[in-house]
Structure formats: structure tokens, C-alpha cells
Amino acid sequence: MHIPLPRTALLTGVGRRRGIAAAIARGLAADGYDLALNYFEPYDRRVLGESSDVELLADELRESGRRVELLPGDLGDPRVPPSLMADAHDALGPLGALVTCHCESVDSSILDTTVESFDRHYAVNVRATWQLLKAFAEQVEPGTEAPGGAMIALTSDHTVHNLPYGATKGALDRLVLAGTHELADRGIRTNLINPGPIDTGWMTEEVRRAGAAQTPGGELGSTDTVADLVRFLISERGAWIRGQLLYSNGGFATPAL
């Protein structure tokens, strides 16, 4: 007998209400999911120059009747990912979905990337995602009748002058795609989404115009276009899509790298 996934999810990298992760949280809440939201305000301040307003997002989602647990933590610390999963499980019960939206992203190139920056990118973008996926899968005993779970990671192919970010996103892709095969006996399905350029407050008008011009429809995607695909992949209707890196970018023409 098929058992549906629990409507509980852990989302990482939530931080700001206008970000992609916040749109995903709203979409999953509308689908009846209770949520554990991870964020790390020092990153928002350091890289984005903004403070986290995740508490306001949590209040918004709770008003819709959903349970929401806020779980701050630096995913660059190897102790944090397993504890996040344990705390989310304690708060919400077994998790049906894991969506990783967190990243370290600091512009630098081959000649000026520092070892310290590269190592932090690897720790956050790759090692933490592996730890989270491992802990997510360990909720389920292999070969049991448990429903398993759906894991989705956000990725990117932006590498030029963004070397440590792009290089570690490539490693992330291989890691997540392997999960569908290695964790099949636990009923875990994994996919990646490359959403192309999404304006979450970082684009200038010039960047928006240039990005739209490289898209056949003449417009960029939004945080909601990403959330819509996540909602589908986590749903029963999307359960047959496994082990895929999906370009959900409106046909955006990525410059030759």
C-alpha cells in the first residue's frame, strides 16, 4: 500500500521574505505543510546588506494555521546540519520534504579567490547539504513501509567571476543526483532545480533588462515560478521525477562559460 509523505518540511536559507526560500515556504504552507525554517542572519547582513525578517514570515504562515519552527544556524559549522534535522524532527515529527536553498555566494575569480573563502563555500554549499540529506534519509529504515521523502536542492551554473560558488554548486549537483540511487531503498527521491536569474533584490534595472533580453519570452522568472516547481516535485503528481537536474529558467540563454 502506498503511504503519502508527511506534510512536514525543513527549508534552509530562508532569511528574507522576498527570497526564493520564502516563496517556497508560502507555497508549501498553502499545500498544508508544517515547516521548519533555517536561516543565518550574519550571512544576510554580510553578503546582502540586509537583516533577516524571517520572524515576520513565520507569523504570516502561522496565521494560515500552519506550525512553523524557526531554526537559526550556520551551516558552515559541521555540528549544525545534523542538529537542525533533529530539532525539526522533534518539533514536527518525521519530515516528508527537505528543500535546501542555502548558499555561500561571494564574487571572486580564479586569481583572487582565497583558500578561506573557497573552504567556506565548500562547507556551506556541499558538505552541509550532504549532512542534511544524510540525516534526512536516516529518518527512514531501509526496506520498511515508511513513505520515504522528497529532497530538492537549488543549484546554479554561474561560475565566471563567481568561482567558489559555481564550483561548489557543480559538486552539489553530483551529490544530490547520487541520492536518488543510493537512497532508493529508503524511498528517498532527489532532484535539483536551476532557476536561472531570479531577482530577489540584487538586480539593477540594467541587469533585469539584460536578463529579460536573453529569455525567449522577454521576461525573467520570479520566486513564485521556482516555488511552483518545488510544490509539484514534492507532490504525489511529481513523484515519478527523480534524479534530475531541471532547468526551470524560461529558456534563459546562459552565456558561454
Q: What confidence tens digit (pLDDT) does each residue in 134-144 have?
A: 999 999 888 77
Choose between 97 and 205: higher pLDDT: 97
Contacts of 60 (CB under 8 A, 6+ apart): 17, 26
State phi, psi for 29 to the nearest 5 degrees: -60, -40
| CA distances in angstroms from 239 to 17, 58, 147, 242, listed in the order given | 28, 28, 12, 7
CATH code for 8-247? 3.40.50.720
% of the chain exceeding 90 in pLDDT = 70
169 has a pLDDT exceeding 80: yes
Answer whether 66's CB lies under 8 Å from 35's CB: yes
For cell 518540511, the residue is 9
Quote the pTM value. 0.91
Give me the residue label for grid cell 573557497.
Answer: 118
- pLDDT tens per residue across span 20-46: 999 999 999 999 999 999 999 998 888
What pLDDT score was predicted for residue 207? 65
CB-based contacts of 39, cutoff 8 Å, min separation 6? 13, 14, 15, 52, 54, 70, 71, 72
CA distances from 116 to 17, 39, 106, 122, 194 (A): 30, 22, 12, 10, 26
> Which positions ≥6 away from 191 have C-beta within 8 Å?
150, 151, 152, 153, 176, 180, 233, 241, 242, 243, 244, 245, 246
Q: One-letter amino acid identity for 69?
A: E
**Which residues are registered as beta bridge partners of 31?**
none
Where along the chain do its domains lie?
Answer: 8-247
What letter represents residue 210's amino acid? A
